[in-house]
Every structure is written in structure tokens, then in C-alpha cells.
Amino acid sequence: MSRPRIFVSRPRLPGSGVELLASRCQVVQWGGDAVPRPEELRRFVRGCDGALLLGNDRVDAALLDAAGDGLRVVALASAGFDAVDQDAARTRSVVVTHTPGVLAESTADIALSLMLMARRRLGTAVDSLRGGGWRSFQMDGYLGLDVHGATLGLVGYGQIARAVARRAAGFGMSVQHHARTRPSDDHSRAVGLEELLRTSDIVSLHVPLTPETAGLIGARELALMKRTATLVNTARGAVVDEPALLTALRTGALHSAGLDVMNDEPRCDPADPLFAEPNLVVLPHIGSATERTRAAMVEQAARNVLAVLGGDAALTPLPG
Ligand code: DGY
């Protein structure tokens, strides 16, 4: 019997997930350094039984149809699945999987890093030093706001948010969260979104991007936040209205923000207004970017492919 054919959409993936696939399947791997365009994805996936893709590869009817009737599984090496047309997959009986859980702790580390960077103005301090700007120790130099003891508001209370809440305990923060289906627990108190925005010193976003959460934090929500507050986003860029955020920062309506995610990623124009704002720290979507976590994501995706092709249930199918 011929080995199943699996398309892998990036040339270099950390860990041994691709080797695992190659031990049982015929792997067709994208070789270019640039991210494959939709038409390239469609060309490569033709005739495949499965595909291991990243979260920013669009999985839509056109891609699924291009693959043909043999396609049984699309495994994302990503927790987020906002680029997936789930109805299209369902009607074609293609199982789509993702990798929740394995990246929660690393992403929580980056959320805490952004809180520290933004409130303690670490980026500004490092830039100043590198630019020869630290000429004397002044009591009012590089002043920021405390992270320890702050009230932290988590929007969404899934695995990443809960990992953030556990870390926050070590910083002596008082933690509250807003999530439709998650009650209070030992680490965090459930509150309404408005109360959370009004009373938190730091608001950290941990919701998936859906039609309900797109633009969730806009001008109105930013205006509810304290002028001394910090907004942190490690979820998806489109959850925040970027122009409204820039306005809030420029007018002093908000103290600071730390973003690991933006709209229209990647962004590489050095003149991008997001990069010039002194009270805004931006990272290039590195929440899960540790060697161990990225390897675990790829391996989990590979195991999902093998499970489905072997006739077993997917380990981590998309919810719902
Ligand atoms: C995820 O897994 O959703 C991260 O944002 C990386 O894509």
C-alpha cells in the first residue's frame, strides 16, 4: 500500500515532528524562504492525504478543494485557528486540529515580559543606553509604574490566561478575569468586562479571534481604562483597534501597551507608526517562540496527522 502523502508548509520546523511524519508518510515540504501564497499552497496540497500547516496559512474551501477528495486531515502547528473556514472543512469531512496547551506557559512568559517592558519602560531604557543617552543617575530618570501589586484583568480565561494568573500570584497582583464560561477560582475572580476595564492596572488579552472578539478593545473600551493602565495583547492583533490604541497612547488616555501581535502580520516598515510610539512595546509574534515549545507544537501537529490517518480520533481537534 502506498504511503500517505503529507504537505508541510514550511521548510524548517523545530524538533522531530517532520521526521516522525517522514517515518510513516511521504512528506512534500515547501522549500521557499517566503511564506507560501494561497495559490502556492493550493498547488502543493494537490493529491495530499494530509497537511501540516501554520496558523497563518488560510484553510478555506479553495484550498480544501484543490487538495481533492483524499484530504482527511489538516493539522495546524498553532493554537489559533482564525484562518480556518470550519464550515468548509466540516462539509468536506476534513478533520482540522490545532495545538492548544503546549504553548500556554511560553506565551504566558511573554505576556509577563510585555507587562514589565511596557510599565517599567524597559525598551526606552535600553535604547537610551545604547544611544549614549545615560549621562547621570537621576531620581526621576526612566520612571515607570509598578507591576508587582497591580490589579491584573485577564480578558478570556483559557490555558494561557490561567498560566498568566499563576505567575501574577508571584508578583503579588490581584487577578480578575472576564470570560463567558469561566467562574472565579483560587487564582482569579470573575467580573464583567466593563468592571474589569475600569478597575485593572493591566489588561491582558487572551481570547481567540472570532467575529465576536474582532475589535473588542476599541476607543470606547480604551476610554474606560485607567489613564495609568497598560494593555497587553498576546492573542491576535485584530482584537484591538490599532488606530484607537495609538490615539489613546498619544493623548495620555492610556499609560502604555505591549503587543506581541498586530493586524496584517508580518510588519516590516521601519516607519510603521506602531514602532515609533514610545509608550508601546511591540514584539514580532514570539509568544510560543522557544525551542522546546515550537518543537512540541510541530510534534503535536504530526501526531494529529498520524492519528487521523491511522483511523483514530484526533488528539486535539478544533473545539466545537
Ligand atoms: C498560536 O499558536 O496561535 C500562536 O499565535 C502562533 O501562531
Amino acid 1: pLDDT: 65
Q: Which ligand 1 atom is at minimum distance from the Cα of 81?
A: 3
Q: Do 117 and 256 fall into the same domain?
A: yes
Helix (H, G, I), strand (E, B) or coil at 108: helix
- Tell me if 320 is assigned to some domain: no
Question: So what's the ipTM on this one?
Answer: 0.95
Amino acid 2: pLDDT: 85
Sheet with 230-233, strands from edge to edge, namely: 189-190, 174-178, 151-155, 202-205, 230-233, 256-259, 280-282
The model scores a pTM over 0.80: yes
- Tell me if 319 is assigned to some domain: no
Amino acid 320: pLDDT: 78
User: Which amino acids are annotated catalytic?
Assistant: 236, 265, 285
Kindly report the protein residue whose alpha carbon is nearest to atom 5 of ligand 1.
Answer: 80
Q: Do 146 and 245 fall into the same domain?
A: yes
Q: Do 183 and 295 fall into the same domain?
A: no
Residues within a 6 A CB radius of ligand 1: 55, 78-80, 103, 287-288
Could you tell me the mean pLDDT of each successive run of 10 residues in the chain, 320 residues long? 93 97 97 92 97 97 98 98 98 98 98 98 97 97 98 98 98 97 93 98 98 98 98 98 98 98 94 95 98 98 98 95
Amino acid 32: pLDDT: 86
Instruction: Please give the tally of structural domains in the chain.
Output: 2
Q: Which ligand 1 atom is at minimum distance from the Cα of 55?
A: 7
Kindly report the protein residue whose alpha carbon is nearest to atom 6 of ligand 1.
Answer: 78
d(CA 129, CA 119): 18
Domain that holds residue 63: 5-100+291-309
Give me the phi and psi of 113, to 5 degrees please: -60, -45
Q: Do 115 and 141 fall into the same domain?
A: yes
Q: Do 184 and 150 fall into the same domain?
A: yes
The CATH code of the domain that includes 236 is: 3.40.50.720
Q: How far is the CA of 168 from the centre of ligand 1 (A)?
A: 22
Contacts of 204 (CB under 8 A, 6+ apart): 111, 115, 152, 153, 154, 155, 161, 164, 232, 233, 234
- Tell me if 220 is assigned to some domain: yes
Q: Do 113 and 257 fall into the same domain?
A: yes
Q: How far is the CA of 81 from the centre of ligand 1 (A)?
A: 8
